[in-house]
Structure 1
Amino acid sequence: MPTSATPSHSAASATVGMAAPPTAGRSRRWELDALRGLMLVLMLSTHLPTFFALPLGQPFGFVSAAEGFVMLSAYMAGLVYTQRSMKEGIPAMRKAFLRRAMVVYLCQAASLLFLFTVIAWLGMTFDQAAARNLISFYLAHPTTGLWASLLLIYNPPLLDILPIYVMFMLLSPWVLAYGLQHGWRAIAALSGALWVATQFGLSKVLYDWLVAMTGLSVPFRETGSFETFAWQALWIFGLWMGARHAQTPAEKRGEFPRWLVNASIVVAVVFFIWRHLTGQEPFPMGHPINFVFDKWHLGPMRLVDFFALMILVIHFESWLKSHAPRLKWLETMGAASLPVFCAHLVLVLLALALLGETNPGRPMWIDPVMFVGCIVVLYVVARLVLAFESRAPRKKAGSEPADAAGSARASVPPAGPSPSPANPDAPR
């Protein structure tokens, strides 16, 4: 379903992985867990109605946590499910992908139920415009809003990221199977063509066609912020990278040429300085050139910045792993990323329904207490989830790999580059 830009508080990137504790003969990529945990914290900071949202938004340049999460999730999907297909065959890989898609869909359905009941009631009771604006279409058209949201057509702000994960994971087994059997050139060409077409309005054209064919009454702006046909390009790239790493030993993958690393350093430094000189947008609001940096369409300059950062993280991976401090609490949160993400949604929605948007008139102590308190709650959720899973009966070896979108449950080679930097989501 094509998606469009929506007003404030659209969902940031989300990791959608159900983590599990390491088992005998298996190892976790702790650095990937730490990246997910960091992005979850930064995502929380941009969505909570506090004064932390603006300064912590896009601190590394004109990129957000969304790019990092999509890339990381697709990388893990390609890595883990390629391993599964090599071990058990492509049909087993497809079934595992579809099971993960169902898990994510059920999380989305539960989040929608919470939004349409508890948050709707609190927003009306406390008369908070921030909460009402999130579900304005649902309040005006509850029946249409309910069935359209369950069909992933109507995607309220803050709940518009899981639907694209569901769609990507439903498509991924067929893409991965084709790539493994026939190569990736045709897939890359089609993916690139869709991304280019999206920059010229493909989503709106397809939406108008769907309305003409079906009489769909959900406005284009209510279908979600993320342009699915643009973001699939990043997912396909990550899927390919994960599949390649599953098939190629680390010592045979080669290194980036020096000129590319140097160019990436220049790009990353320039965009970092530019972002902190001008704010969240490179040019004044309304300037047409901002479109090439646009998040929702995954503009070309945003991709340049993201890939520069990704190249640097991969190139300097060994140095970063040996010198960066290990924050176990971030690893814990990243290891339980799907439940932590859903808990983050609950906390943010409750804050908007009870306190409303950021208010400079609030006592100064409220925002830091709320921010730190929410981090503690998310950490507790992660600990409880991991403790529960550690006590659950162990599946037979090979019965369930890591999830398609971020868990490091299955056998993951300890060597080799990690896929992407941790970048916080831009505030709305």
Structure 2
Amino acid sequence: MKRSAQLDFFRGLLLIVITIDHALTYNNIIKRFTYEFFGWVSAAEGFVYISGLTAGLVYYHKYVERGEQHVVKAARDRVVTLYKYHLALLFFAFLIIISNFYITEYWSQYYGYLFQKPLLSILLSSALLYQPMFMDILPMYTIFVAFIPILVKCFNKGLVWQVLATSIAIYIAGTLIHPYHVIDTLVSNKNIQTGFYNLLCWQLLFVMGAISGFMFYNNKTKKLISNSYIVYICAFVALVLFVEKNLHFGIAEINIDRLTEKPGLGIIRLVNFIVLCFLVIHVASRNKNWFVNKYICYLGKYSLEVFSFHIILIITFMPLKVYLNNICTIKLTDNFYLYPLSSLFVLFLLVPALYLAPTLVNKRIVPITK
């Protein structure tokens, strides 16, 4: 199966946006346009969805070509790889944090348990029960990939709608209870952290992506994504949510924080993502040459290495960002500031550094034109 340049492009673009969002201060005016500018949607939702789409596309192809056992083995190998990256990241993060006084001081509030009980925290992390800041994406993806063999087997049996209905039911259950609360009830250790994201809710994005991958593989999406009525409806909903998000008119004069929350993937956030995702897919299907920039595709091609490396960069240089912000700050409004030095550092040093990831992690030179 030919590799999709568009998927690599969007993965690479999302990795750049994720790096910028993680590196910049929340009230930085630049972040105003990179984080949830188009509505209650961030790069994280897109990244999880595309991960599911890629998994559905690739593993269903493997299922058709080589059978169920090959898919089980391939998924298991991927899970092991992701798990190793998770442990390696925690190990390197700990080394970086204890290497410098200023780095230690900055991260102590986020990784306090790692300082207090390093051995126990590493053991809990090995069981995916300790996921401090930035350490919860890979465990989430690891768990999702473990279920891929079941998903593609159901797809092959024609149980697509049943899979979606089950995923929606799990999502509804997740809106009522976070897995952390269950674990907290059963276990007395108050330092257990299962991450920022409610997996019972976020699995829906991954499953939707996997279903999309299955449909793309079987050419079942052309009529859907070219349907003008659906396009107009999605555009209208996206516009309404964009206006509400940025101008704060107040939908029915109710508090929508619960409906737009990120950890639990609130229903408005979910709808916002679906309509924007549909519009992007529609545009991409009609303009295939728009989304194939080789430099961005390069990052997407090595997304695991790039994502992991960006966490190392963030942990290493976040304290420097604070120092640069203190040197030069320009107030623009009551809510937004311009931080020239830290912004230039992130955009022209940190983001370009992502291109080192494939070479550093794989210990070999990877041609960017490959």
| TM-score (normalizing by structure 2) | 0.86
Given the superposition, is the C-alpha separation of residues 135 and 255 from structure 1 closer, same or farther in structure 2, using an over 3 Å criterion?
A: closer
Deviation at 1:318, TM superposition (A): 3.5
Residue 46 (structure 1) aligned with residue 21 (structure 2)? yes
The letter of the residue matching 1:362 is I
Which of 295, 300, 313 is equivalent to 1:329? 295
What is the CA–CA distance in structure 2 between the aligned matches of 1:334 and 1:232, rounded to whole Å?
21
What is the CA–CA distance in structure 1 between the aligned matches of 2:102 and 2:108, rounded to whole Å?
10
Residue 338 (structure 1) aligned with residue 304 (structure 2)? yes
Residue 171 (structure 1) aligned with residue 143 (structure 2)? no
**Structure 2 runs not aligned, ≥5 long:** 329-339
Residue 306 (structure 1) aligned with residue 273 (structure 2)? yes
Given the superposition, is the C-alpha separation of residues 31 and 135 from structure 1 closer, same or farther in structure 2, using an over 3 Å criterion?
A: same
Partner of 2:256: 289
What is the CA–CA distance in structure 1 between the aligned matches of 2:98 and 2:348, rounded to whole Å?
26
SS of the aligned residue for 2:197 comes to coil
Given the superposition, is the C-alpha separation of residues 188 and 55 from structure 1 closer, same or farther in structure 2, using an over 3 Å criterion?
A: closer
Given the superposition, is the C-alpha separation of residues 143 and 69 from structure 1 closer, same or farther in structure 2, using an over 3 Å criterion?
A: same
The letter of the residue matching 1:316 is V
Partner of 1:266: 236
SS of the aligned residue for 1:296 comes to coil
Give the helix-richer structure, 1 or 2: 2
Partner of 1:66: 44
Contact 2:52 2:209 in 1 (8 A): yes
What is the CA–CA distance in structure 2 between the aligned matches of 1:127 and 1:254, rounded to whole Å?
50
Deviation at 1:302, TM superposition (A): 0.6
Highest RCO, 1 vs 2 (Cα 8 Å, sep ≥ 6): 1
Contact 1:198 1:230 in 2 (8 A): yes
Residue 181 (structure 1) aligned with residue 157 (structure 2)? yes
The letter of the residue matching 1:361 is N
The letter of the residue matching 2:215 is R
1:372-411 alignment, distance < 5 Å: 372-382=348-358, 388=364
SS of the aligned residue for 2:108 comes to helix
Partner of 1:86: 64
What is the CA–CA distance in structure 2 between the aligned matches of 1:332 and 1:390, rounded to whole Å?
9
| TM-score (normalizing by structure 1) | 0.75
1:11-410 alignment, distance < 5 Å: 27-50=2-25, 51=28, 52-122=30-100, 125-126=101-102, 129-181=105-157, 183-211=159-187, 215=188, 217-219=189-191, 222-246=193-217, 248-249=218-219, 254-255=224-225, 257-278=227-248, 288-322=255-289, 324=290, 326-352=292-318, 354-355=319-320, 357=322, 360-363=325-328, 364-382=340-358, 388=364
What is the CA–CA distance in structure 2 between the aligned matches of 1:351 and 1:53, rounded to whole Å?
17
The letter of the residue matching 1:46 is D
Please, what is the CA RMSD of the aligned residues?
Answer: 2.7
Contact 1:38 1:334 in 2 (8 A): yes
Deviation at 1:375, TM superposition (A): 1.6
The letter of the residue matching 2:52 is A
What is the CA–CA distance in structure 2 between the aligned matches of 1:366 and 1:296, rounded to whole Å?
28
What is the CA–CA distance in structure 1 between the aligned matches of 2:224 and 2:342, rounded to whole Å?
50
Per-residue deviation, residues 193-233 of structure 1 (Å, max 9, x unmatched) = 1111111125255224432xxx4x1446x221000000111
Partner of 1:398: none
Range with bigger deviation, 292-301 or 50-59: 50-59
The size of the alignment, in residue pairs, is: 351
Deviation at 1:91, TM superposition (A): 0.6
